[in-house]
């Protein structure tokens, strides 16, 4: 119990340190945020004109997918940040201090929530500019963003683990694309999954990124009236399915990452 | 028991390399142990084990009454560490770095800030306190790193080559700071490649090579073993080395040694410059052509020559880099000597 309290306390100290870095070097945000903005423009104006959403507008359909993609991509920021920490001299300091052994990772995933809030805000503004609107109530909308953030938090634990596996921050980006591309593209993010060939459709329906996208669409009121109900269970219960994934991911990757951190620390 | 640091039979292997080969150390409370050795001798590995950063393959150690393997957490509460790779965050200011370290020692916010302020004053960093460390010079980073080790006023300190890579002025400043700490009763283990540094700061010195202690004693005892000043003469023609040796033998207060190359002679002397002048005159009279001559105080290399019969450099053989010690913080430490 004491260990848990210390883990949070020390994690908060580390999170504060990470946030100071974002404040001092805001450039890092610019580069990570540019790609989702490019995606909005690309899909809204280039591909969007040839993708048909029955009874609705593609841009309304698109933005929830972009949100999901943004938080998944954003998780690489966590991995790269940790990989960089492990390379720097400061890690020697942390390891010689009587701090919680999980604090470096707990702090990193916590500070990246702030990063995700910022990036979702920027994406929402971009969305509003290209014609996306929230048609639901305030509570639903807040619920939508909260669910996206929860999913982002969980996914940043996956990338934390990747960040501790690889030898340098540069590798994180490349390594993570192997996971991120299928997850974000073989999904209902950019095109309705009904149009996919059977095996891909099956993957897309059970893909948690599809569920969080579907949940966000529902909560923001971006599903036009008359759209047929999805048949797959995850898409019929997207909020519940997403929450199951959030819990499962953290339950698996938090202990894995902490163990990996201890071992990586022993490498030096 | 009054030994604050106690290690016995420490062994650490990396694949085909043995970094530590049965090292014993003991440091009485309130004293300074200088761990002296060349690059790759195992100094950083020893410090890493004693500070719980690394597990030994064999052997045991206690620091401030806590077992480094069994209860590393207790050890960490009782030690401060400053290393070669200034372990500070470069995006934070000096003040933020020290405050963070204080918080992670769980001193609480108020006490952490207070300690940060005091140390920045003490280490002459107060003007740079609110600047990101990125803008600091190498010497300033080292001082900040040292401050980090001092935040929690722990009874035991480990300083791993605290002055390597610093300019002479910063070294002397840092020595003064370390001396004043020790005067307050801190137990200190210090590693260094410089005999004069160990001489200045340590009560006892252990010389290590290939992960083993090869000599130990007080600085005076060690200097006695090594000899005092020496003249280093390089003759132009190796054929004249013997003549030079015969000429210089009457100035020597010990054995004349060669430095691997036949044309360089190391002549232990006492009496300094006047003796050097006379020796040169004699060499000139004998017609020995000289390429280079220096009067030197003993260095680590001399100590090694005296203690092992080989120079410090050769013990670093097999390593790709013999530049001044630097652990780049990534991968394994460069402290590791091939057997």
Q: Give A259 to chain B, closest Cα distance, Å.
A: 15
- B140, B97 Cβ separation under 8 angstroms: no
**Chain B interface, mutation test: which of A18, A23, A98, A169, most B Cβ atoms within 10 Å?**
A98
CATH 3.30.70.100 in chain B: give the residue spans.
229-296
Residue found by looking up tokens 């005892």 in the block: B221
pLDDT computed for residue B200 by the predictor: 86
pLDDT above 90 covers what percent of chain B? Answer: 47
Rounded CA-CA distance A100/A104 in Å is 8
Please tell me the least confidently modeled range out of A173-177, B55-59, B287-291: A173-177
Better pLDDT: B261 or B287 = B287
Rounded CA-CA distance B200/B307 in Å is 20
Task: Using CB atoms, pick whichever of A87, A96, A98 lies closest to residue B53.
Answer: A96
Q: Does A262 touch chain B (CB under 8 A)?
A: no
**Chain B interface, mutation test: which of A9, A26, A28, A93, most B Cβ atoms within 10 Å?**
A93
CB contact residues (below 8 A), chain B span 164-193, against chain A:
none
Residue B81: list chain A partners with CB under 8 A. 92-93, 96
The DSSP bridge pattern shows strands B32-36 and B204-209 to be parallel
Tell me the pLDDT band of B314, cut-offs 50, 70 and 90: very low
Reported ipTM: the value is 0.86
- B74, B66 Cβ separation under 8 angstroms: yes
Beta-bridge partners for B229: B269
Long-range contacts of A203-209 (CB under 8 A, 24+ apart): A205/A230, A205/A232, A205/A234, A205/A235, A206/A232, A206/A234, A207/A183, A208/A151, A208/A183, A208/A234, A208/A241, A208/A242, A208/A245, A209/A68, A209/A69, A209/A72, A209/A183, A209/A184
pLDDT above 70 covers what percent of chain B? Answer: 88
Provide the 10 A C-beta neighbour count for residue A67. 29
CATH 3.40.50.300 in chain B: give the residue spans.
3-223
Rounded CA-CA distance B337/B339 in Å is 6
Residue A11: list chain B partners with CB under 8 A. none
Q: Does B233 touch chain A (CB under 8 A)?
A: no
**Chain B interface, mutation test: which of A10, A85, A92, most B Cβ atoms within 10 Å?**
A92
pLDDT computed for residue B324 by the predictor: 38
CATH of B3-223, one of 3.30.70.240, 3.40.50.300, 3.40.190.10, 3.50.50.60: 3.40.50.300
Query: Is the model's pLDDT at B317 over the cut of 50?
Result: no
Q: Does A91 touch chain B (CB under 8 A)?
A: yes
Task: Using CB atoms, pick whichever of B85, B101, B332 lies closest to residue A92.
Answer: B85
Question: Which residues are within 8 A (CB) of A240 and not within 5 positions of it... i.e. 6 or more apart?
Answer: none
Query: Is the model's pLDDT at B326 over the cut of 60?
Result: no
Q: Does A171 touch chain B (CB under 8 A)?
A: no
HSE on the CB side for A28, CA within 13 Å? 17
**Mean pLDDT across B18-45:** 92
User: Helices (H) and strands (E) in chain B — how many of each?
Assistant: 11, 14
Task: Using CB atoms, pick whichever of B55, B96, B330 lies closest to residue A20.
Answer: B96
Phi, psi of B275 (to 5 degrees): -65, -40
Tell me the pLDDT band of B300, cut-offs 50, 70 and 90: low
Query: Is the model's pLDDT at B239 over the cut of 80?
Result: yes
Cβ distance of A17 and B96 shorter than 8 Å: yes
Q: Give A151 to chain B, closest Cα distance, Å.
A: 29
Q: Does B15 touch chain A (CB under 8 A)?
A: no
Residue found by looking up tokens 């009236």 in the block: A225
**Chain B interface, mutation test: which of A17, A22, A90, most B Cβ atoms within 10 Å?**
A90
Three-class secondary structure assignment of chain A? CHHHHHHHHHHHHHHHHHHHHHHHCCHHHHHHHHHHHHHHHHHHHHHHHHCCCCCCCHHHHHHHHHHHHHHHHHHHHHHHHHHHHHHCCHHHHHHHCCCCCCHHHHHHHHHHHHHHHHHHHHHHHHHHHHCCCCCCCHHHHHHHHHHHHHHHHHHHHHHHHHHHHCCCHHHHHHHHHHHHHHHHHCCCCCCCHHHCCHHHHHHHHHCHHHHHHHHHHHHHCCCCCCCCCCCCHHHHCHHHHHHHHHHHHHHHHHHHHHHHHHHHHHHC
Residue B333: list chain A partners with CB under 8 A. 268
Q: What is the maximum alpha-carbon separation in chain B?
A: 74
Residue B54: list chain A partners with CB under 8 A. 266, 268
Q: Which fold has domain B229-296?
A: Alpha-Beta Plaits (3.30.70)
Query: Which segments in chain A show pLDDT lower than 50?
Result: 268
Tell me the pLDDT band of B338, cut-offs 50, 70 and 90: very low
Distances (CA, A) of B246 to A40, A264, B163: 87, 59, 40
pLDDT digits (tens, 9 = 90+) for B180-233: 888 888 999 999 988 888 888 999 999 998 899 998 988 878 777 776 788 889
How many CB pairs below 8 Å do chains A and B form together?
Answer: 83
Phi, psi of B4 (to 5 degrees): -80, -35
Provide the 10 A C-beta neighbour count for residue A178. 10
- B230, B270 Cβ separation under 8 angstroms: no
Q: Does B130 touch chain A (CB under 8 A)?
A: no
Q: Does A103 touch chain B (CB under 8 A)?
A: yes
Residue B93 C-alpha from the chain's centroid: 28
Q: Does B100 touch chain A (CB under 8 A)?
A: yes
Cβ distance of B329 and A91 shorter than 8 Å: yes
Residue found by looking up tokens 């260094």 in the block: B192
Domain borders along chain A are 2-267
pLDDT computed for residue B309 by the predictor: 67
Please tell me the least confidently modeled range out of B26-40, B59-73, B181-195, B298-312: B298-312
Task: Using CB atoms, pick whichever of B73, B76, B89 lies closest to residue A17.
Answer: B89
Cβ distance of B48 and A268 shorter than 8 Å: yes
CB contact residues (below 8 A), chain B span 67-96, against chain A:
73, 76-77, 79, 81, 83, 85-89, 91-92, 96
- For residue B44, the chain A residue with the least C-alpha distance is A268
Q: Give A172 to chain B, closest Cα distance, Å.
A: 16
Q: Does A24 touch chain B (CB under 8 A)?
A: yes
pLDDT computed for residue A77 by the predictor: 87
Query: Is the model's pLDDT at B315 over the cut of 80?
Result: no
Cβ distance of B104 and A99 shorter than 8 Å: yes
pLDDT computed for residue B238 by the predictor: 84
Residue B85: list chain A partners with CB under 8 A. 89, 92
pLDDT computed for residue B258 by the predictor: 80
pLDDT computed for residue B334 by the predictor: 36
Residue B332: list chain A partners with CB under 8 A. 267-268
- B291, B236 Cβ separation under 8 angstroms: yes
CB contact residues (below 8 A), chain B span 187-226, against chain A:
none
């Amino acid at each position: 119990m004491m260990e848990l309290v210390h883990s949070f306390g020390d994690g908060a100290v580390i999170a504060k340190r990470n946030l100071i870095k974002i404040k001092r070097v805001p450039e890092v945000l610019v580069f990570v945020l540019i790609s989702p903005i490019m995606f909005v423009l690309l899909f809204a104006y280039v591909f969007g004109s040839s993708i048909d959403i029955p009874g609705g507008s593609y841009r309304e359909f698109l933005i929830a997918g972009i949100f999901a993609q943004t938080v998944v991509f954003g998780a690489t920021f966590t991995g790269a940040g940790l990989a960089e920490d492990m390379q720097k001299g400061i890690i020697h300091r942390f390891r010689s201090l009587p701090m919680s052994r999980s604090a470096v990772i707990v702090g990193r995933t916590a500070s990246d929530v702030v990063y995700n809030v910022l990036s979702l805000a920027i994406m929402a503004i971009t969305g509003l500019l290209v014609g996306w609107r929230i048609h639901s109530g305030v509570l639903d909308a807040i619920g939508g963003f909260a669910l996206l953030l929860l999913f982002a938090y969980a996914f940043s634990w996956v990338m934390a683990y990747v960040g501790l596996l690889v030898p340098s921050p540069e590798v994180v980006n490349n390594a993570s694309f192997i996971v991120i591309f299928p997850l974000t593209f073989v999904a209902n993010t950019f095109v309705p999954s009904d149009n996919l060939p059977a095996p891909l459709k099956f993957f897309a329906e059970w893909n948690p990124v599809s569920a969080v996208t579907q949940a966000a669409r529902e909560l923001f009121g971006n599903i036009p009236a008359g759209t047929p109900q999805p048949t797959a269970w995850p898409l019929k219960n997207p909020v519940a399915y997403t929450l199951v994934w959030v819990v499962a991911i953290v339950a698996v990757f938090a202990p894995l990452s902490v163990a990996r951190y201890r071992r990586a620390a022993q490498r030096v | 028991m009054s030994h604050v640091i106690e290690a016995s039979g420490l062994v650490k292997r990396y694949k085909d390399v043995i970094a530590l080969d049965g090292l014993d150390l003991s440091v009485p409370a309130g004293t300074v142990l200088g761990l002296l050795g060349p690059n790759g001798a195992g100094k950083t590995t020893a410090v890493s084990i004693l500070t719980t950063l690394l597990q030994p393959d064999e052997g045991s150690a206690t620091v401030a009454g806590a077992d480094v393997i069994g209860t590393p957490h207790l050890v960490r509460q009782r030690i401060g560490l400053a290393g070669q790779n200034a372990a500070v965050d470069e995006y934070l200011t000096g003040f933020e770095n020290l405050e963070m370290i204080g918080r992670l020692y769980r001193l609480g916010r108020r006490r952490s800030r207070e300690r940060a302020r005091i140390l920045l004053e003490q280490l002459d960093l107060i003007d740079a306190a609110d600047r990101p460390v990125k803008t600091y010079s190498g010497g300033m980073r080292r001082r900040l790193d040292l401050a980090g080790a001092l935040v929690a006023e722990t009874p035991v300190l480990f300083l791993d080559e605290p002055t390597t890579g610093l300019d002479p002025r910063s070294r002397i400043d840092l020595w003064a700071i370390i001396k004043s700490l020790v005067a307050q009763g801190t137990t200190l283990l210090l590693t260094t490649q410089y005999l004069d540094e160990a001489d200045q700061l340590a009560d006892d010195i252990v010389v290590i090579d290939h992960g083993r202690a090869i000599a130990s004693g007080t600085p005076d005892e060690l200097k006695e073993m090594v000899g005092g000043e020496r003249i280093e003469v390089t003759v132009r023609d190796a054929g004249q080395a013997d003549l030079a040796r015969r000429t210089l033998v009457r100035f020597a207060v010990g054995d004349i040694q060669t430095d691997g190359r036949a044309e360089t002679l190391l002549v232990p002397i006492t009496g300094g410059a006047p003796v050097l002048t006379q020796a040169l005159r004699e060499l000139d009279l004998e017609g020995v052509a000289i390429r280079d001559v220096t009067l030197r105080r003993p260095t680590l290399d001399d100590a090694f020559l005296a203690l092992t019969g080989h120079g410090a450099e050769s013990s670093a053989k097999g390593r790709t880099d013999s530049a001044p010690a630097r652990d780049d913080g990534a991968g394994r430490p460069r402290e590791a000597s091939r057997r």
